[in-house]
Structure 1
Amino acid sequence: MNKRVVLITGGAKGIGRGIAEYLSQDMTVIAVDIDEDAGHQLVSDNPLIRFKPVDVTSEQQLEALVVEIKNQHGRLDAVINNAAIADPYNPPLEEIDIQHWNRVIAVNLTAPMLVTKLCLPLLKQNHGRVINIASTRALQSEQNTEAYSASKGGIVALTHSLAVSLGPEITVNCISPGWIDVIGEPLADYDHQQHLVGRVGKVEDIASLVAYLLSEHAGFITGQNFVVDGGMTKKMIYQ
């Protein structure tokens, strides 16, 4: 039996890379990213992963990618929409540049819709799965994060809308990570202790949930947003 084929956007770094590596033992993983150096490093470290430099805001590049996947693999079983402009901060509202806003929305929100649309014919062939990566910032905010928060809130809404439109052939779910330590940076005890579970998140916390949602055990789950944040969004904080 052929391995399932999974496409992950923003797959060369951070949470995307962690998901790609986690899934690569059991699935054929195609990671796309605009960062070519990081992509080449990824496949150097893990030859099981295929890498393709792709700008997810380019419909032409995405169309070519889908054709290549069809010709090389003949199938696509899942799409993980992870690519995003990760910096959540923008200038104060009175100073925000519309180009900045449009770029964040294009990468973080429009691209997942477009990727899913273009992959739809292949996904339908195998009762595929779509997983969108949002953020707890879809649910709570700091100052000066309007563009990022709006894009991630849009991802949550896009998820349940797609689930309704694409069912029953395709399931669509969403994961909202909290603080995930993707680079192994030094962290203070307080960073860990403020979480209800006593630690900051690890990439594996997200990747293992992705693997579950792609498994046969998750066939009755669709349209959902899974918050993976060590309980932080349930913690009432007054100072």
Structure 2
Amino acid sequence: MPLGTVLVTGGASGLGAAVVDAVAREGGRPVILDRFPTGSGHDEVCVDLVDARAAEEAVREVSQRVGGLDAVVTCAGTDSCGQFGDVGGEDWDRVVKVNLLGTAAVVRAALPDLEARHGRVVTVASTLGLRVLSDATAYCASKFGVIGFSRALAVETQGRIGVTTLVPGGMHTAFFDGRDEQYKPGPDAKLNQPQDVARAVIFALQQPPGCEVRELVITPSVEGSWP
């Protein structure tokens, strides 16, 4: 199935950048939404998802500029590790604002395009949206929320748009950079390559009309985040 124009949040790095490359290879037109410019040559718009209203406006602006959106993939995400009582309130809130409220804001703004075109949404949750760890209250709360939001959206919009929830385990990306050593994967950690996970996103986006992949769990074959 042709991909059309695909908005990718967090498209400057990590899984988002891998999805952008995969969309382009498949003949689609990636559009990047990120806090930072990429210089990739693709259409892009810079906005911080912590401001949901600004994110909505950015999506509407870029939709008008590129002639509408056929799909959205919400790869942008952040974390703030630590014991709940030790993580500052603003840092904790930012995780939920970016991961959950930012996801909802982007989908909300793109919804008119998606419904007009019978388009697709791929939301990116995490295996920590299905299980919990200590020192990850904000991240778990946000990713549990993404799964709940996505399942409800799929029911609400069934027959009008496609909704897939991607549930990835750990990946080799910059997501772990800047953390205290105790919160970084060890040297022998089993992590997926983001390019491999991006293939699953393309699979979901290319399903024929009337066929939906509702949820995809993608993890390394020998790692501990699943189940």
* Alignment TM class, shorter chain as reference: 0.7 to 0.9
C-alpha distance in 2, partners of 1:29/1:234? Answer: 30
* Cα 1:167/1:120, change in 2 over 3 Å: same
* Cα 1:159/1:134, change in 2 over 3 Å: same
Counterpart in the other structure of 1:130 = 121
**1:174-185 map, 5 Å:** 174-182=165-173
* Cα 1:3/1:211, change in 2 over 3 Å: closer
Task: Tell me if 1:225 matches 2:215.
Answer: yes
Amino acid at match of 1:156: I
C-alpha distance in 1, partners of 2:153/2:143? Answer: 15
* Shift, 1:229, TM fit: 0.7
C-alpha distance in 2, partners of 1:175/1:67? Answer: 24
Decide whether the 8 Å contact of 1:8 with 1:30 is kept in 2: yes
Counterpart in the other structure of 2:156 = 165
Amino acid at match of 2:217: V
C-alpha distance in 2, partners of 1:204/1:13? Answer: 11
* Shift, 1:227, TM fit: 1.2
* Cα 1:205/1:3, change in 2 over 3 Å: closer
Gaps of 5+ in 1: 193-199
Decide whether the 8 Å contact of 2:11 with 2:17 is kept in 1: yes
**1:9-48 map, 5 Å:** 9-25=9-25, 26-36=27-37, 39-40=38-39, 43=40, 47=41
Normalised to the residue count of structure 1, the TM-score between the two structures is: 0.80
Decide whether the 8 Å contact of 1:88 with 1:149 is kept in 2: no
Structure 2 residue matching 1:176: 3-state secondary structure? strand
Task: Tell me if 1:89 matches 2:81.
Answer: yes
C-alpha distance in 2, partners of 1:235/1:125? Answer: 37
Q: In terms of Rg, which structure is larger?
A: 1
C-alpha distance in 2, partners of 1:63/1:140? Answer: 30
More helix by share: 1
* Cα 1:71/1:99, change in 2 over 3 Å: closer
* Shift, 1:57, TM fit: 3.0
* Shift, 1:60, TM fit: 4.4
C-alpha distance in 2, partners of 1:10/1:31? Answer: 7
* Cα 1:128/1:98, change in 2 over 3 Å: same
* Shift, 1:95, TM fit: 2.6
* Cα 1:59/1:141, change in 2 over 3 Å: closer
Amino acid at match of 1:89: C
Gaps of 5+ in 2: 178-184
Structure 1 residue matching 2:22: 3-state secondary structure? helix
* Shift, 1:100, TM fit: 2.0
C-alpha distance in 1, partners of 2:166/2:3? Answer: 24
How big is the alpha-carbon RMSD for the aligned residues of Structure 1 and Structure 2? 2.5
Normalised to the residue count of structure 2, the TM-score between the two structures is: 0.84
* Cα 1:68/1:141, change in 2 over 3 Å: same
Structure 2 residue matching 1:24: 3-state secondary structure? helix
C-alpha distance in 1, partners of 2:209/2:195? Answer: 18
Task: Tell me if 1:50 matches 2:48.
Answer: no
Counterpart in the other structure of 1:100 = 91
* Cα 1:56/1:127, change in 2 over 3 Å: same
Instruction: Count matched residues.
Output: 215
